[in-house]
Structures are given as C-alpha cells and as structure tokens.
Structure 1
Amino acid sequence: MMNTNLTVKEVKSWIKVEGGSVSSPIGFSAGGLHCGIKRKRKDLGWIYCSVPAISTAVYTTNLFQAAPLKVTKESIGSNGKLQGIIVNSGNANSCTGDEGLQHAYMMRSAFAKQTGLEEEDVAVVSTGVIGEQLPINKILNGIEKITGLEEGNKAPEFEEAILTTDTFTKNECLQVKLKDKTITIAGAAKGSGMIHPNMATMLGFITTDVHIEQGALEKALKSVTDQTFNMITVDGDTSTNDMVITMASGLAHNELLQEDDPEYPLFVEGLQEVALSLAKQIARDGEGATKLIEVTVEGSLTEQDAQNISKTIVGSSLVKTAIFGEDANWGRIVSAIGYSGIHIDPNSIRVSIGPIKVVENGFSYGFSEEEAKSYLSNEEIKIFVHIGAGNEKATAWGCDLSYDYVRINASYRT
C-alpha cells in the first residue's frame, strides 16, 4: 500500500522517495516473518498485488537452475502476469531433484490458497544453502500465518526476510509525472556473496504502478539489467537461483505505455535508476567488503569491449586485495586489462585512481604514493581507464576482498 510518510529529492527526471519501498507503488504490499529455517531471523517474505500485475523477469545464466526458478518461469510464462511472490531464505532448494521441484510447487500452491490467488499468478523464490531439501513443513506452516496482506507498510520485514549473508537491507523508490499521472517505481534486493555478472546471486524485486504493455516492460527490464545488475561482481561465482522480477499493477491509470510512446524512455530511465541503486548496494555489501569499487572504461571500440574490460578489472582478486590494502598497485589494473580478451594498444592506455593519474601511454606517470594511499582510504573508490581505441564506454561495480570474505565463506554452512 502507498506509504504517506515520505520525503523526496530529485534524481535526474525522477524524484527519489526517501522511506519508499516495494509497497509504495499503488496496489502493492509486502511482509515477512520467521518460519524456522533460520534460528532467529526472518526467513519467509512475500509481495502481494491487489490486481494481476503485468510481469517479467530475468534469470541466472548458471546451467544448474534451482527448482523455484523453474516454477517462476512457468508462472510468468502462463499469461505474463503475477499477483504474488513467496520467498524463503536460508535454503536455496537447488540441486534437490524432483523432490525439490515438488516442494517449490507446494510453496506456490500454499501461498495461492492462503491469499485467494490463482497458482499461475504466484512466483516462488528461494535463496541460501545449495543441495539440501527445504524444511517444507516449516515453510507451509509459515505461509498459513500470513494475514492482513494490505494492512500497513511491512516492506522492511520483507527486506529483512530475503537476506542471507547480507549486512543491510537494500531498497530504492522513485516517482515521476507521466503526462498527468504520478508513476512510482520501487525495488528491494538481496545479495552479498556469489555475485558475478550475468545475473548471479542476487534477488531483485521491482514494483511499479505504471500501466504498460508486457512486451515494453520485458524489453525495458532486459535492457536495464545489462547496464546494472550484469555490471557488478563480488567474487566471480554465479549462483543457481537468482533473478530479478518486475511487476506493474497499472493502477496509476496512465494511458497504456508502449515502446513507441514518447514517454517510454522516461520510464526506462526510472527503471534503470532503481536497478542501478540496488545493484550498487549489492556490490557495496560484498561479504566482508570495506569499499565499493567503480571502474569506468572509456575510449573502446564497442560498448561490449568496455564492459568486458571494466568487469575484468573490478573482478580481479589482485585488484580487489590491493584496494583493500590501500595500495595503488596500478600494475594489477593494467594486467587485468591485458587478459580481458579485448585487443588493445598498450601504449595508448591511461589509468587514474580517483583524481590521481597513475599511468600515461602505458607507463607509470610518477604519482605521489602518499596521495594515492590517502585517496584509497575512502569507502568509495573510482578507477578510470582510457583505451584510446574508440568512443564507447561502460562502468562496472564491485568491492574489495578482505580477510572477512574467507572467514564468512569458510563457515557458511556451519
């Protein structure tokens, strides 16, 4: 439901809604509770829409695709609409065979029954440990406790319920005037480890009240994903489960938005702003991370070249550990450029760490190590690379690699 206790500030053409959530767009509500998968923390969440919402999703590229992902594909594929999403954390229901698939169907059926929805209008999402069967009875008992779907703003409880090793909840909410109607786009996400480009370990849930054609929404999400969620990396591991789902209730009652509408690019801009904010929050929350790293590559022949180089740099373990150690070791950056698979002229490379130029024409620029170390003490680090081959550019995001990353992942199941 719409949250009225909100403040706003401008974000490009859109207005950022402070305190907004996935339940801010008209027609949506969300919540979460503890059902017993985890020892204490909330582990079962849901999103509900008062009407069937035009929906689309993008999915992990991992060939081992978890049971709930298969069920969600089936639901969205039935009529391009969803009215509810049920999510559990603490167990991925992945690599669990036919039993796991039946458990995913049981979750869908139970949530549909509890909410009065059609089964094909429900998506199922799971995240957590791979290879263990769901404690399905705990989940089914939890679903039976879901009440008051449209009462109050319980989105923070949903944001908490979807977390695994995350250290904070992640959300964003924007509004804009589309002709004479106010349109809201909002999102929540989780993600901390097993994050790598091309839809890795992340769950993204984006809601909007725009009235839009399903094909136009699908095209927008795929385009936006390539520029945001697919441009982050934490550790190079691609998960089996995760996806970004977008639901549009249409309850803003604007004229049907189609691809050829002059205001369609404005909607895409807002969707991209929400997705980018969520993606950067995920990158910042990498397991054990202390710094957000942003790598911008300019001067490439194609955008794809710039994407490949920027993702290679931000995904390099040696670059990540150098940033953690506040060491301006530009050789690691240049090395990553060299093995990115993109043909470049080494003598044309320029590299800056923040405002400090460290490489010019492929050679050291003679910078101040003290100034570089001082810059690298910040929590947000920007690296700029110019290839000198063309006019295209791209930006990727990631985090540093700390001692805590090993500690967290060495004991993940225990």
Structure 2
Amino acid sequence: MKQTIRGFRFSAVPAGIKKAGTDRLDFGLILSDTPAQAAGVTTTNLVFAAPVEITRKRLQSGLCQAVLLNSGNANAYTGDQGKLDALDLTAATAEALRIDPELIVPMSTGVIGNPLPKERMLHGIPDLVKKLDSGTFMDVAKAIMTTDTVPKTVVLDGETGSGPFKMLGMAKGAGMISPDMATMLCVILADMNVRAGFLNECLVEANSASFNCITVDGDTSTNDTLVVMAGGRADALTLGNKSSDCESFCSALKDACMGLARQIVQDGEGATKVIEVRVVGAPSKEKAAQVARKIAESPLVKTAFHGEDPNWGRIICSAGRAGVPFDPGNLDLSIGGVPIVRNGKLVSEDWEMAAHTAMKNREFQVTLDLRSGDGEWSILTTDLSEEYVTINADYRS
C-alpha cells in the first residue's frame, strides 16, 4: 500500500547528529498543509527530556502542524540549555516554514546526557524544508532509527458514514522498551478531521492496548512520545458524531498502534523470539498485568526463552514475587500450548520435549492461570540474548 497521505509532506536529511560527515539520515520533518487536530502521550519517567516537556505544553492546544524529529541525541538531562536548544530549533523551522512555532513539536532519541549539535542541526533546516516536495514518509521513518534494524511503518484504510479515511504511522524503538511507553517515538497521521478531545480519548485507549503491552528489557525511557495528527488540509472530511463512525476511527487507530507495537518487539535488540505472556484467572485485570509484567521482564525467564528451555520454575517464581495473592497449589501453566502444570502439580506426561520443540518457534505463548478470579492480561516480550548485551555494552562506542 502506498505510503502517502493527503495533507501531509515529509523530508529527512543527514545533519551529522549521529556522526558528523556521514550520509545517515538523522533529522526529519513532518508537515501538514494546515494546523491539524492533535493529541499525544509521553513518558512516565520522572527524568523526561526537553523535547517531551515542550511537546506536552504545545499539545495542550489540541493543534499541531509540524513534527521535528532527530535521532542520535536524546536531548535528555541536558538542563536549561537543552530546552533552549529545542526551542531554537523549532523556532528556526517555524521561520523557514512561515508557521507559528507553537504548532511545532520536537521529538528526539539517542544518547542521554549529551548536548545537541545545534549548529549542525540549524544548518540542516533549510535542506529539510527544501526537500518537503521530494521527501517520503519512509525517509523520516529511517531518520529516527537508532539500534532499530528496520523502519517500522503501518498503512490503514478505513470507512465512516462521512467517507473514507487513511492512516499512516511510523515508530522507532528496539531497546529500553517497557510498558508505560518506552524509548519510542511514534507519529500517526489521519486525513480526516477529528475533534481533539475525542482524538485524545481514542489515543489513550489505543496506547493502553498496544504500546503499554510490550516490553523488551523493562526500562522506560526519558523520551517516549506518541503523537496523532488528524486533518492536515483545508478540505479534509470531518468525522461524524455517529457512534459507529467513532468506533470505526478508534478501531483503526488501535490497529495502527498494535501493528507498530508488535513491530517494535519483533525488532527488539538482540531478539530471536517474540513471546506472548498471558495471565488469566487473576483477581483483576490490573493484578493480571502485574504478574504478566513480572514474568515478561525477568532476565532469568527471558534467558530461558532464548535457550528454548521450558524452565517452568522460573516462570512460577517470577509470578510469586509480583505481589499478587494466589494459591500456588492451584495454578495451571502451559508453554507453547503444552500443559506443564495442572492444579499446582507437574503433569505426569512427557511434556519437556514437546515444550522445548514449541519454544523453537519464532513466536509462542506462555499461559498462566492463577485460578483466583476473572482478570486477564497479555504482554509481548522477547528473549534475552548475548547480542542484546553486546549492543548495549557498545552503545556509546
């Protein structure tokens, strides 16, 4: 499906943020023809980056016309200068575009604690603006990659009583990925006008069902930002008030977020497997999530996944330290559809080889039934490999 959308233009350039003198794209721009309705979700980390602070404030208006993105530098923990740098860059971009700087939100990802190479970035802004007529959505998706091995994009078509609409989304993220957002930048565009308040409601629901249900390493970044822009042009159709129309739009947004979230896990740093950890029979949905997260983020469990070792004891041990009451003598556990524990007892059949074989698959499911209620929740996680350690040991090298 073609990765273009009415009302939006794109560009990306190598500004030398990742490394001076290279041709790697690391500076991107998304521009809507007119101010678009907008909503956003940002990191829960108390140490949030300067661009996050600016984006939060500017999205309060419910409008956005441009997103200025960079990789190679997070502009996090950079003090007042980091904020001033981000403001200077959005101001220079606004001047070049002849739009209000308050309608530009910045997004950054990369190494924490280093000042932005602002002068190189300022030098790159004229090229960014010039290339808006020839740049592509994929250019920007590539420009925000750090340890990602592939760009992550999604294209969806939808239908409402008001007419058809299209969604285009991009995301980056491979490490420092945990529920409550992660080291993730994501922009989703829709070519239909949607009331900002309703757009925010849809986004919160979509984020909860997608990006907050994934983990790679249990870390939550300083820079997580998810922005949705709807409209983009003067003649864009407007979403009607019918419940069916609203449901159609929200469903498409959720599908876009879930598609991008799964791509992030599939491209997790050093990951060779994607595992769905499903906890059922918990006292509540929240308690199920608590147990599932504890299992999905356990290094011992994740290394067992990598070794294709059905080490059920590690899984139950992790569940037991999640702070959720249940009866250990009354639970069920299966790996890859193979029953291992029933009613708190190891099954008598020859389960180990069957479970080991199931774990050889690229994707499989772990299901734990606490038999303590009706709450259930699922989270996507990865295995933990030697390559993950190598990537992160050498990250700043």
- Relative to the length of structure 1, the TM-score reads 0.91
Are 2:383 and 1:403 equivalent residues in the alignment? no
Bigger shift: residues 270-279 or 150-159: 150-159
Secondary structure of the corresponding residue to residue 301 of structure 2:
helix
Aligned to 2:46: 63
Give per-residue Cα distances to partners, 1:68-106, cap 9 Å, x unaligned: 1111122212x2100100011000111111111110001
Secondary structure of the corresponding residue to residue 50 of structure 1:
strand
Aligned to 1:30: 10
Distance (whole Å) between structure 2 residues aligned to residue 360 and residue 296 of structure 1: 16
Select the residue among 59, 63, 75 that pairs with 2:58.
Answer: 75
Aligned to 1:245: 227
Unaligned runs of 5+ in 1: 1-5, 7-18
Q: How does 1:194-273 map to 2 (within 5 A)?
A: 194-249=176-231, 253-258=236-241, 261-273=243-255
Distance (whole Å) between structure 2 residues aligned to residue 144 and residue 113 of structure 1: 10
Aligned to 2:96: 114
Given that residues 309 and 359 in structure 2 are in contact (C-alpha distance below 8 angstroms), is that contact kept between their aligned partners in structure 1?
yes
Aligned to 1:123: 105
Q: How does 1:384-399 map to 2 (within 5 A)?
A: 384-399=367-382
Distance (whole Å) between structure 2 residues aligned to residue 213 and residue 69 of structure 1: 23
Select the residue among 172, 177, 184 that pairs with 2:154.
Answer: 172
Structure 1 residues 388 and 164, CA gap change in structure 2 (3 angstroms): same
Are 2:30 and 1:53 equivalent residues in the alignment? no
Aligned to 2:346: 364
Select the residue among 68, 71, 77 that pairs with 1:95.
Answer: 77
Secondary structure of the corresponding residue to residue 193 of structure 2:
coil
Distance (whole Å) between structure 2 residues aligned to residue 257 and residue 140 of structure 1: 41
User: Partner letter of residue 332 of structure 2?
Assistant: R
How far does residue 300 in structure 1 lie from its aligned partner after superposition?
2.2
Distance (whole Å) between structure 2 residues aligned to residue 186 and residue 370 of structure 1: 43
Bigger shift: residues 391-400 or 51-60: 391-400
Bigger shift: residues 145-154 or 264-273: 145-154
User: Partner letter of residue 315 of structure 1?
Assistant: E
Select the residue among 318, 325, 329 that pairs with 1:347.
Answer: 329
Distance (whole Å) between structure 1 residues aligned to residue 94 and residue 341 of structure 2: 59
Given that residues 301 and 315 in structure 2 are in contact (C-alpha distance below 8 angstroms), is that contact kept between their aligned partners in structure 1?
yes
User: Partner letter of residue 286 of structure 2?
Assistant: Q
Distance (whole Å) between structure 2 residues aligned to residue 210 and residue 255 of structure 1: 6
Secondary structure of the corresponding residue to residue 75 of structure 2:
coil
User: Partner letter of residue 45 of structure 1?
Assistant: G
User: Partner letter of residue 335 of structure 1?
Assistant: C
Given that residues 86 and 125 in structure 1 are in contact (C-alpha distance below 8 angstroms), is that contact kept between their aligned partners in structure 2?
yes
How far does residue 115 in structure 1 lie from its aligned partner after superposition?
1.7
CA RMSD after TM alignment: 1.7
How far does residue 330 in structure 1 lie from its aligned partner after superposition?
0.9
Distance (whole Å) between structure 2 residues aligned to residue 300 and residue 253 of structure 1: 45
How far does residue 26 in structure 1 lie from its aligned partner after superposition?
2.2
Given that residues 82 and 123 in structure 1 are in contact (C-alpha distance below 8 angstroms), is that contact kept between their aligned partners in structure 2?
yes
Secondary structure of the corresponding residue to residue 133 of structure 2:
coil
Given that residues 213 and 257 in structure 1 are in contact (C-alpha distance below 8 angstroms), is that contact kept between their aligned partners in structure 2?
no
Given that residues 178 and 254 in structure 1 are in contact (C-alpha distance below 8 angstroms), is that contact kept between their aligned partners in structure 2?
no
User: Partner letter of residue 35 of structure 1?
Assistant: A
Are 2:395 and 1:412 equivalent residues in the alignment? yes
Are 2:322 and 1:337 equivalent residues in the alignment? no
Structure 1 residues 191 and 168, CA gap change in structure 2 (3 angstroms): same
Secondary structure of the corresponding residue to residue 314 of structure 2:
helix
Bigger shift: residues 249-258 or 203-212: 249-258
- Relative to the length of structure 2, the TM-score reads 0.94
Structure 1 residues 182 and 149, CA gap change in structure 2 (3 angstroms): farther
Distance (whole Å) between structure 1 residues aligned to residue 246 and residue 13 of structure 2: 37
Q: What percent of counterpart residues are identical?
A: 38
